[in-house]
Amino acid sequence: MTAIVTAKNLSQIYELKRGMFAKPLALKAVKETSFTVEQGETLAIVGESGCGKSTLARMLTMIEPPTEGELTIDGIRIAEASDSDLKRLRSIVQIVFQNPYGALNPRQKVGAILEEPLKINTSLSAAERRERAEKMLAEVGLRPEHYGRYPHMFSGGQRQRIAIARAIMLEPKILVLDEPVSALDVSIQAQILNLLAELQERLGLTYIFISHDLSVVRHVATRVMVMYLGRPVEIAPVEELYANPLHPYTRALLAATPAARPGRRGARQRLTGELPSPINPPTGCAFHPRCPYADERTKRERPELTQHGKTMVACFAVDEGRLPPPDAAVVETPEPRA
Amino acid sequence: MSLLTIRNLSVTFATASGPFRAVDGVDMTIAPGEVVGIVGESGSGKSVAMLGLMGLLPDSATVTADVISFEGRDMLKMSNRERRKIIGKDIAMIFQEPIASLNPCFTAGYQIGEALKTHLGLDKKAARRRTIELLSQVGIPEPERRMTAYPHQLSGGMSQRVMIAMAIACEPKLLIADEPTTALDVTIQAQILDLLLDLQRERGMAMILITHDMGVIAETAERVVVQYAGQQVERQSVANLFETPRHPYTSALLAAMPERARGGRLPTIPGVVPGQGDRPTACLFNPRCPKADERCRTVVPPRQPAELGEALCHYPVGADPRPPEAIPPGFGPLSRQPLEGGARASTIAPEVPGDAR
Ligand SMILES: Nc1ncnc2c1ncn2[C@@H]1O[C@H](COP(=O)(O)OP(=O)(O)OP(=O)(O)O)[C@@H](O)[C@H]1O
Ligand SMILES: Nc1ncnc2c1ncn2[C@@H]1O[C@H](COP(=O)(O)OP(=O)(O)O)[C@@H](O)[C@H]1O
Ligand code: SF4
Ligand SMILES: [Mg+2]
Ligand SMILES: [Mg+2]
């Protein structure tokens, strides 16, 4: 396997201005994050609201340059890329946003929305662009007559199809999907997840799939990266993560995810407290104020990601071998099918 | 005696393009201390039904019902003043959007204090003491300090807790919680659900929990109502609903959940929930239902008996009276596969209403 994306120590620090004389506050949305994405896989990124998922997405899609660190996509180092390389990279990596309502220009017809990337990035004629757009409509399960309609005439699921169609107009290699199904109902969510799976197979796409829904992630991901307060705390193959979650935060997330099976409530360990502010993060391991395994060391030192079997995890309790095996009540074993 | 009884509650909105029936013949009986869940996709009329019950809908809404009674008292015949005594005190509601339903101009503490003064007649000092007690009960750290916070200064989880504190301030007998955790992260969601269930258990408070999340229902409710396009299409105990869903919509909804799928493609429900313009005839689910035939398109389906989940359907899953060759695969009495039933393996299904078949 070859890595199509390599991120090394990526950071994104926002300066929050506080009037003329006060020193601006630094908000570290993403901190020293390193990972790779293999060609053709789906890397899922999970974590609570505000942990830096979308910020990472904006860096990966070159909407925002990282304030620190190095990003290599398809063999090209972004920081040193020439203008023509950057142009190529921008069409190789496309993004689909969370909100199917806000992401489309309400004054543009679907046809124009789909053709816009072609207009900017290719020298195709109007007729050729139209042909490509109509083909794409069929590809994402929309109909030819939708070409001349405005976004407000579509349901949430259809709008998400349009957003996906637009993202793949330039035949990208990588799609960054920022909560692509979070705003959709279960029945529509299933339609969109199937569409994404089909497109990935047919077009050999690599997905970076951002989600806070662990049941969706389990269904789509090849590997999973769990983030907490701007840093990855665990990176593991999907089966491994669900069968043998190591980081206490991963375990807490799994425990908190409601299982669609009656009578399972109560047996689980609950996380207390809320995500701390990224402006003033806790010392040491950022998870320590909420962690049942925190000790003096975790308050002072920050654990680095280290390899444990197939999993990379940043936790002293794991390193020191004092983390109990995952609680049977926490880990979901799929019930056999009738 | 039941705490709340509703029979045949309907809500119709007057809109520019004509009347729109958002809630259509809803029934509900809830006993003291019971937890009933209402599930359904967005727009299925879950919120409107409860707002209708509470009398909180705009003037464009017409609410009708055969019976609405609370502790045996007929709420339809009550004066507004009498009704207001019940609503807000004995029946309280937590709304879908916590930030939007707290008044931005007043501190959290003030808003809870006002409710205490109005409904329980507490004086200022007693109200303050009780407010602090309530805030700490719902898990707000440093309640004295948080009392003086304005809603925008609180995180989503905190404002939801303030809403809960306000709702339980008068020790209601029934709490209606409308998507109380939808806007929250899973770890906070788990905390809030635990909190609500603790209150229910400790005080014998009954609860109607509205959600679109089947997982939340599975973990919290005892009985479930499945709502589709304003109608209750199935009513069962939570265990039976997940084990043997009877309405094809319930069955399809369960099958479409990624946690129930085993790799590969998810079974989908083609099409979308009908809106005002494309309301089908007879069974409202018929354009999306793989079991539908001519009868479903022309004859309004009957309410099945309790052992068939009170399904609003001609051909409930596992009890389809048609000859085997007339039943789509996966639905016959012999091949009962409730989890897969109702949904078909799709390719990329165009999701245009009416094109489902
Ligand atoms: N342009 C910006 N200026 C200042 N702070 C920002 C900016 N963008 C994001 N942040 C902050 O960075 C942190 C990470 O935000 P981000 O949007 O990446 O979170 P997320 O993981 O995508 O959350 P969600 O699940 O809610 O989408 C948050 O604290 C956010 O408030
Ligand atoms: N004030 C209103 N005027 C007209 N239609 C409304 C109004 N409020 C809600 N509706 C419609 O009623 C239906 C049910 O809404 P709602 O109860 O909010 O659904 P949900 O099940 O998601 O809570 C929707 O189609 C919605 O658009
Ligand atoms: S009545 Fe017919 S269309 Fe409606 S749910 Fe039952 S089988 Fe399907
Ligand atoms: Mg985000
Ligand atoms: Mg609602």
Q: What pLDDT score was predicted for residue A334?
A: 41
Instruction: Looking at the complex, report in whole angstroms how far the Cα of residue A243 sits from the nearest Cα belonging to chain B.
Output: 14
Distance between B103 CA and the closest CA of chain A, angstroms: 23
Averaging pLDDT over each range in A7-16, B142-151, B273-282, which range is the top one?
A: A7-16
Q: Say how far apart CA A157 and CA A135 lie, in whole Å.
A: 19
Q: Which of A6-20, A224-238, B244-258 bottoms out in mean pLDDT, i.e. has the lowest? A: A6-20
- Return the minimum-mean-pLDDT range out of A7-11, A124-128, B199-203, B341-345: B341-345
Last residue of a domain, one of B179, B198, B227: B227
Q: Which of A135, A87, A140, A133 is nearest to A113 (CA)?
A: A133
Q: Is residue B311 part of a domain?
A: no
- SS percent in chain A: helix, strand, coil, step 5: 35, 20, 45
**B273 and B193, same structural domain?**
no
Same domain for B217 and B286: no
Query: What's the pLDDT band for B108 if we cut at 50, 70, 90?
Result: confident
- What are the pocket residues of ligand 1 if the criterion is a CB atom closer than 6 Å to any ligand atom? A 14, 27, 29, 47, 49-55, 212, 278
Asked if residue B23 has its Cβ within 6 Å of ligand 3, the reply is no
**Could you tell me if B89 and B170 are in contact, meaning their C-beta atoms sit under 8 angstroms apart?**
yes
Say if residue B239's pLDDT is above 70. yes
> Is B213 in Cβ contact with A258 (below 8 Å)?
yes
Provide the residue type at A322 as one letter: R
Residues 260-279 of A with CB under 8 A from B: 260-265, 268, 270-272, 274-275
Q: Write the residue in B191, B218, B261 that is nearest to A259 by C-beta.
A: B218
Q: Do A259 and B215 touch (CB under 8 A)?
A: yes
Q: Inter-chain contact B191–A272, Cβ cutoff 8 Å?
A: yes
Statement: residue B354 has pLDDT above 50 = no
Q: How much is the average pLDDT of A217-240? A: 96
CATH topology of domain A3-221: Rossmann fold (3.40.50)
Answer yes or no: is the C-beta of B157 below 6 A from any ligand 3 atom: no
What pLDDT sits at residue B347?
Answer: 35
Q: Domain check: are B220 and B256 in the same one? A: no
Structure confidence at residue A315 (pLDDT): 97
Q: Which of A190, A332, A334 lies closest to B267 in CB terms?
A: A190
List pLDDT tens digits, range B288-343: 999 999 999 999 999 999 999 999 999 999 998 888 777 766 554 433 333 333 33
Per-residue model confidence (pLDDT) at position A12: 96
CA A184 / ligand 2 centre spacing (Å): 16
Cβ contact (<8 Å) for A190 and B155?
no
pLDDT score recorded for residue B309: 97
Residue holding tokens 């049942």? A292
**Count: domains in chain B:** 2
Per-domain residue ranges of chain A: 3-221, 226-320
Binding-face residues of A in 183-202 toward B, CB within 8 A: 185-191, 193-195, 197-198
Can you read off the two tokens belonging to residue A108?
Answer: 């543009």
CATH number assigned to the domain comprising residue B48? 3.40.50.300
Residue B172 lies in a domain: yes
How much is the pLDDT for A16?
83
- pLDDT, residue B191, reads 85
> Which long-range contacts link A147-153 to residues 24+ away (Cβ below 8 Å)?
A147/A109, A147/A110, A147/A111, A148/A109, A148/A110, A148/A111, A149/A109, A149/A110, A150/A106, A150/A107, A150/A108, A150/A109, A150/A110, A151/A104, A151/A105, A151/A106, A151/A108, A151/A110, A151/A113, A152/A106
pLDDT tens digits along A137-169: 988 988 888 999 998 888 888 898 999 999 999
Please tell me whether residues B215 and B267 are part of one structural domain: no
Residues B115 and B252 in one domain: no
Retrieve residue B162's tokens.
């303030």
Ligand 2 binding pocket (C-beta < 6 A) is B 13, 15, 20, 22, 40, 42-48, 58, 60
Q: b/e for B291-304, b at 16 or more Cβ within 10 A?
A: bbeeebeeeebeeb
Distances (CA, A) of B331 to A102, A135, B205, B290, B318: 40, 36, 40, 9, 7
Whether residue A40 has pLDDT greater than 90: yes
B73 and B167 assigned to the same domain: yes
Distance of CA A126 to the CA centre of its chain: 35
pLDDT for A121 beyond 80: yes
Question: Which atom of ligand 3 is least distant from the CA of B247?
Answer: 5
Specify whether B223 is located in the same domain as B292. no
| pLDDT of A304 above 60 | yes
Check pLDDT > 70 for residue A268. Answer: no
In the reported structure, the alpha carbon of residue A49 is separated from the centroid of ligand 1 by a whole-number distance in angstroms of 8
The Cα A148–Cα A140 span in angstroms is 16
What is the reported pLDDT for B102?
79
Checking if the pLDDT of B185 tops 90, the result is no
Q: Is the pLDDT of residue B26 over 80?
A: yes
Question: Would you say residue B355 lies in a domain?
Answer: no
Residue B120 three-state SS:
helix
Q: Residue B95: inside a domain, yes or no?
A: yes
Return the pLDDT at B136: 86
Same domain, B294 and B257: yes
| B126: containing domain | 4-227
pLDDT of B73 > 70? The answer is yes
| Residue B108, amino acid | A
B265 and B221 in a common domain: no
CA of B342 to the centre of ligand 5 (A): 25
CB < 8 Å & 24+ apart, contacts of A194-197: A194/B265, A194/B266, A194/B268, A194/B346, A194/B348, A195/A140, A195/A141, A195/A161, A195/A164, A195/B348, A196/A164, A196/A220, A197/B265
CA nearest neighbour of A10 among A63, A68, A60? A68
Q: Which ligand is nearest to the CA of B62?
A: 2
- Chain B residues lying within 8 Å of A157, measured CB to CB: 272, 351
Who among B42, B238, B350 is closest to A185 (CB)? Answer: B42
User: What is the reported pLDDT for A301?
Assistant: 95
Mean pLDDT of B259-284: 84
pLDDT category of residue A332 using cuts at 50, 70 and 90: very low
Which residues have CB less than 5 Å away from ligand 5 (the ion)? B 47
Average pLDDT of chain B?
85
Residues in chain B: 357
Say if residue A61's pLDDT is above 80. Answer: yes
Q: Which residues of A touch B157 (CB under 8 A)?
A: 274
Per-position b or e across B72-106, b if 16+ CB within 10 A of its CB? eeebeebeeeebeebbbbbbbbbbbebbeebeeee
pTM: 0.86
Q: Which of A187, A193, A253 sits opposite B186 (nearest CB)?
A: A253
Contacts of B330 (CB under 8 A, 6+ apart): B337, B340, B341
Cα separation, A7 vs B105, whole angstroms: 45
Do residue B105 and residue B197 come from a single domain? yes
More confident residue, B22 or B102: B22
Among B252, B260, B348, beta carbon nearest to A195: B348
Model confidence band, residue A329 (pLDDT cutoffs 50, 70, 90):
very low
- Cα B257 from Cα B215, distance rounded (Å): 10
Question: Rounded to whole angstroms, how far apart are CA atoms B94 and B101?
Answer: 9
Residues B215 and B329 in one domain: no
What is the percent of chain A where pLDDT is above 90? Answer: 67
Q: Which residue of A has its CA nearest to B211?
A: A185
- Residue B351 domain flag: no
